[in-house]
Amino acid sequence: MVKKADNYIIIGEDDYIRAREIDRIKKAHLTVGTSELNFSEFTAPLTDGLIDALSTVPFISDKRVVLLLEAEKLTVDRMGEITRYMANPAPGAVFVISGRSSVERIPGYKEIAGSSAVIKADKPTPAELKVRIRSFFAKEKVKITEDALDLIVRLKGDDTTGIRTDIEKLLVFSGGEEIKVEAVEELVGSSVLDSVFSLADSINGKDPKKVFGIMDNLEGQKKQPVEIIGYLGWYIKLIKNVKCLSLLGMDADAIARELKRSPWEIKKRYSQAKAFSVKKIKKWEAALFAADQDIKTGFKQPALAMDTLIAELLR
């Protein structure tokens, strides 16, 4: 009978979790000094030599680790080869298969999953991300404000790799002091936020040429559609807060104090908020939510979802 501990399937959309679990398994099974000799890596669909690597006897070690990346790109024939291998696995091999959730649709997946330890790498929810970020800073004995937490999640979306990089930068920058929203804006998204404000202005001005020019600039900064949606979501939340407080009779200075933001920034948003009716704010929120769901559920390709979103906001 196959020992499930010798075979692993890491499945899900979260690149950071998949990479973390791969690293954990490698450290658990490879010996310092011989690790390079006992490790092989393949990326589907280019898997020539995979079965030979799995069948190779470990060198001065009990285990040999063979990693298969992007398993969702496996052909049915290649999956069949893996299924046959799993029926009679090499005793010294640790087989690690990593891929997105679509690998489950390939015929033969259920058979290999039955012979493996399946590790889920699902994207975390915003609430789960906030818990993780709080935990990270708590371990370092550094406080972070709620609005700073909210901005990190809105700016980075569910990009856990990017979030990890940015919170490490924030930790160094903080010098042990409480992390506030201004630090997040400066370190995580200063130039990006400028682009987002310009993008929103161009949408409100019904200027499609400028809108798509800014979109190209954001893509040039390697910002993914889900991230851009997060930025616009953060923007419309700020506009909504300013709008609601202005309807209560507050001026820009009072709103700045209430939201704990600079008066100069709120004065800019105060004038922008005047261009937003309550109905228009709801329209933006609904369009952003729809685009986010279309991408995350795979209903639309990211580029198409973004084009649809922009077209809807320009109407």
7 Cβ contact partners less than 8 Å away, ≥ 6 residues apart: 86, 89, 94, 95, 96, 97, 112, 115, 116, 117
Q: How far apart are CA 35 and CA 40, in angstroms?
A: 10
H or E stretch at 238: helix 225-247
Residues in a beta bridge with 18: none
H runs (alpha helix) in 56-189: 76-87, 109-114, 126-139, 146-156, 160-174, 181-188
Tell me the β-bridge partners of 280.
Answer: none
> What was the pLDDT predicted at 191?
61
Classify domain 124-187 at the CATH class level: mainly alpha
Tell which wins on pLDDT, 186 or 141: 141
- For residue 154, is pLDDT > 80? no
Catalogue the E-assigned strands of the chain.
Answer: 7-11, 39-43, 64-69, 93-99, 117-120
Cα 148 to Cα 144: distance, rounded to the nearest angstrom: 7
Q: Which amino acid is residue 189, in one-letter code?
A: G
Domain ranges of the chain: 4-120, 124-187, 189-315
> Is pLDDT above 50 for 2?
no
Please indicate whether the domains covering 124-187 and 189-315 agree at the CATH topology level.
no
Find the length of the chain: 315
**What pLDDT digit, counting tens, does each position of 176-234 carry?**
899 988 888 777 665 667 777 888 888 888 888 888 888 887 877 777 888 888 888 88
Per-residue confidence band for 315, with pLDDT thresholds at 50, 70 and 90: confident
Whether residue 282 has pLDDT greater than 90: yes
Topology adopted by domain 189-315: Zinc Finger, Delta Prime; domain 3 (1.20.272)
Residue 14 reports pLDDT greater than 70? yes
**Which range has the worst mean pLDDT, 66-80, 128-142, 257-271?**
257-271
H or E segment to which residue 256 belongs: helix 252-259
pLDDT band at 151 (very low <50, low <70, confident <90, very high): confident
Cα→Cα distances 124→14, 198, 287, Å: 8, 30, 22
Joined together, the tokens standing for residue 122 give 């699902």
> Could you report the per-residue pLDDT of 90-124, keeping only the tens digit for each?
989 999 999 999 999 999 999 999 999 999 998 88
Residues 6+ apart with CB under 8 A from 268: 197
pLDDT at 4 over 60: no
Cite the DSSP H helix spans in 88-125: 109-114
Q: Give the pLDDT mean for 3-15.
A: 82
Q: Specify the pLDDT at position 190.
A: 56
- The pLDDT of residue 189 is 61
**Nearest CA to 108 among 76, 137, 136, 135?**
76
Looking at residue 1, what is its pLDDT? 38
Of the candidates 305, 312, 259, the residue with the CA atom closest to the CA atom of residue 285: 312
Q: Give the right CATH number for 4-120 from 3.30.1700.10, 3.40.50.720, 3.40.50.300, 3.40.50.970.
A: 3.40.50.300
Phi, psi of 306 (to 5 degrees): -70, -40
With a cut of 50, say whether residue 287 has pLDDT above it: yes
Query: What is the pTM (predicted TM-score) of this model?
Result: 0.57
